[in-house]
């Protein structure tokens, strides 16, 4: 019996005597002639029945970058062009004073000064959603959507809306300067939108940081921070809402699938760390690969890991997701490791990590701030490309090609 994530909950799935029909809902585990295949989320239905296991896994690795959402392929404009146009339209909607407030030099410290903390603890620069008119907010959301897939945009807008829920749950909705709320997310630009000069933009607020860096027609999308407090809303009209439920469920599904000897190798510590390790200001904190290597997973477990990575990568538009998966493929899945810290929950904090040369995912489900007991219902996650955060790889190539310089 294998446990697999179905929507928001884990369910035991028994082997099926035959392949599912084409009109069956995708996303379930299909076991056909000893071959276990997971239909990846947001991808066309995968029929690998009667295919040898090794060939199935090999084929999945090769096909993964191409398995993209059909509904989103209608708009074929490259993401760099979309982002540049949306950024220009947003900046043009600002007053001259607002524009000065929003735009910084490319090398300004603001580029890396994002945080997951509320604005009352970590003040932000740039221009906040609360300072914009309705028309300007529409332009802001068009910019946010320009680099994200539908799932990525729903998570992003959900995190911001969840902060509004937290505002009411905290009883601060009557405060003159509340800690939480949808108003307190800031947009900042590093350089001006350009077709030939490096530039970027950032969305920064409580539990959310998006960083897009552009060099000509190339885009880097990391680091991305997403968090949720509460992870699952348990009261009121929003009860049951889990903005980052898939990230949680898929990590648990993979850990639950490991055999005892694999768990021993994956386990970093009996207790989870207090937070993700490569959070804001800690870009290079993890230099060593630890845990269980990809090559020691069985076929079904490999598909679970691919599905987990897919959940993070496909927060971006299809061409950007393909680009990031290509980078992971080129650096080699055999260099990717899965690691865990803490028990398997649900009452104690736990943490997982996926780490390779061009991918770093950290996820932490912990206690409420300031507490070390009680229910765990507070998520932090970060997605990074260790070689290309803030477009460092793109900038390095740009300097070498255009100025004969080597960026350290």
Comparing 47 with 235, which gets the higher pLDDT? 235
How far apart CA 365 and CA 377 sit, in angstroms, is: 7
User: Given this model, what pLDDT does residue 405 score?
Assistant: 58
Pairing of β 185-190 and β 199-205: antiparallel
Asked whether the predicted pLDDT for residue 23 surpasses 50, the reply is no
Mean of all residue pLDDT scores within the chain: 84
User: Given this model, what pLDDT does residue 215 score?
Assistant: 95
Asked whether the predicted pLDDT for residue 103 surpasses 90, the reply is yes
Comparing 209 with 235, which gets the higher pLDDT? 209
The closest alpha carbon to 30, from 62, 6, 54, belongs to 6
- Alpha carbons within 13 angstroms on the beta-carbon side of residue 102 total 29
Share of the chain above pLDDT 70, in %: 78
How far apart CA 379 and CA 162 sit, in angstroms, is: 12
Asked whether the predicted pLDDT for residue 362 surpasses 70, the reply is yes
> Are 387 and 358 in contact, with CB atoms under 8 Å apart?
yes
- The answer to which of 77-91, 170-184, 256-270 has the lowest mean pLDDT is 170-184
Asked whether the predicted pLDDT for residue 65 surpasses 60, the reply is no
**Mean pLDDT confidence for 136-143:** 98
pLDDT per position as a tens digit, 251-304 = 999 999 999 999 999 999 999 998 999 988 887 888 899 999 999 999 999 999
> Are 5 and 13 in contact, with CB atoms under 8 Å apart?
no
Comparing 232 with 48, which gets the higher pLDDT? 232
**Mean pLDDT confidence for 242-246:** 97
User: Given this model, what pLDDT does residue 403 score?
Assistant: 62
H or E element in which residue 378 lies: strand 376-384
> Are 310 and 239 in contact, with CB atoms under 8 Å apart?
no
User: Given this model, what pLDDT does residue 169 score?
Assistant: 80
Asked whether the predicted pLDDT for residue 156 surpasses 80, the reply is yes
Comparing 114 with 22, which gets the higher pLDDT? 114
Asked whether the predicted pLDDT for residue 356 surpasses 70, the reply is yes
* Phi, psi for 77 (deg, rounded to 5): -65, 130
DSSP count for the chain of H helices, then E strands: 10, 17
- The answer to which of 182-191, 264-273, 399-408 has the lowest mean pLDDT is 399-408
How far apart CA 373 and CA 332 sit, in angstroms, is: 40
**Mean pLDDT confidence for 34-63:** 42
> Are 35 and 48 in contact, with CB atoms under 8 Å apart?
yes
Asked whether the predicted pLDDT for residue 43 surpasses 70, the reply is no
- The residues near 152 (Cβ < 8 Å, ≥ 6 apart) are 314, 315, 316
Asked whether the predicted pLDDT for residue 390 surpasses 50, the reply is yes
- The answer to which of 90-99, 234-243, 256-265 has the lowest mean pLDDT is 234-243
User: Given this model, what pLDDT does residue 12 score?
Assistant: 38
Share of the chain above pLDDT 90, in %: 66
User: Given this model, what pLDDT does residue 398 score?
Assistant: 67
């Amino acid at each position: 019996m294998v446990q697999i994530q179905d929507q928001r909950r884990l369910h035991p799935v028994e082997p099926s005597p035959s392949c599912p029909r084409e009109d069956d809902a995708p996303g379930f585990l299909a076991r056909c002639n000893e071959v276990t295949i997971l239909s990846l989320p947001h991808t066309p239905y995968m029929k690998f029945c009667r295919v040898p296991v090794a060939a199935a896994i090999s084929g999945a690795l090769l096909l993964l970058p191409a398995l993209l959402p059909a509904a989103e392929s209608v708009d074929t404009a490259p993401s760099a062009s979309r982002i540049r146009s949306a950024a220009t339209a947003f900046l043009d909607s600002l007053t001259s004073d607002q524009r000065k407030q929003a735009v910084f030099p490319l090398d300004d410290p603001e580029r890396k000064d994002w945080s997951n903390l509320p604005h009352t603890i970590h003040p932000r620069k740039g221009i906040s959603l609360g300072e914009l008119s309705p028309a300007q907010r529409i332009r802001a959301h068009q910019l946010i959507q320009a680099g994200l897939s539908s799932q990525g945009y729903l998570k992003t807008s959900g995190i911001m809306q969840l902060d509004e829920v937290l505002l009411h749950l905290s009883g601060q909705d009557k405060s003159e300067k509340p800690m939480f709320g949808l108003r307190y997310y800031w947009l900042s630009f590093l350089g001006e939108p350009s077709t030939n000069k490096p530039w970027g933009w950032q969305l920064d607020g409580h539990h959310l940081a998006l960083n897009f860096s552009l060099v000509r027609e190339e885009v880097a999308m990391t680091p991305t921070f997403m968090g949720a407090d509460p992870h699952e809303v348990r009261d009121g009209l929003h009860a049951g809402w889990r903005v980052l439920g898939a990230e949680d469920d898929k990590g648990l599904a993979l850990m639950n699938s490991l055999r005892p000897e694999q768990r021993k190798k994956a386990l970093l510590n009996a207790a989870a760390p207090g937070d993700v390790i490569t959070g804001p200001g800690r870009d290079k904190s993890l230099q060593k690969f630890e845990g269980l290597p990809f090559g020691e997973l069985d076929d079904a477990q490999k598909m679970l890991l691919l599905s987990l990575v897919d959940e993070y990568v496909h927060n971006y538009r299809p061409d950007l997701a393909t680009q990031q998966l290509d980078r992971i493929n080129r650096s080699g899945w055999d260099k990717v490791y899965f690691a865990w810290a803490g028990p398997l929950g649900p009452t104690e904090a736990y943490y997982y990590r996926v780490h390779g040369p061009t991918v770093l995912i950290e996820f932490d489900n912990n206690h409420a701030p300031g507490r070390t007991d009680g229910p765990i219902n507070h998520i932090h996650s970060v997605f990074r490309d260790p070689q290309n955060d803030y477009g460092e790889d793109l900038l390095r190539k740009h300097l070498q090609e255009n100025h004969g310089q080597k960026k350290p």
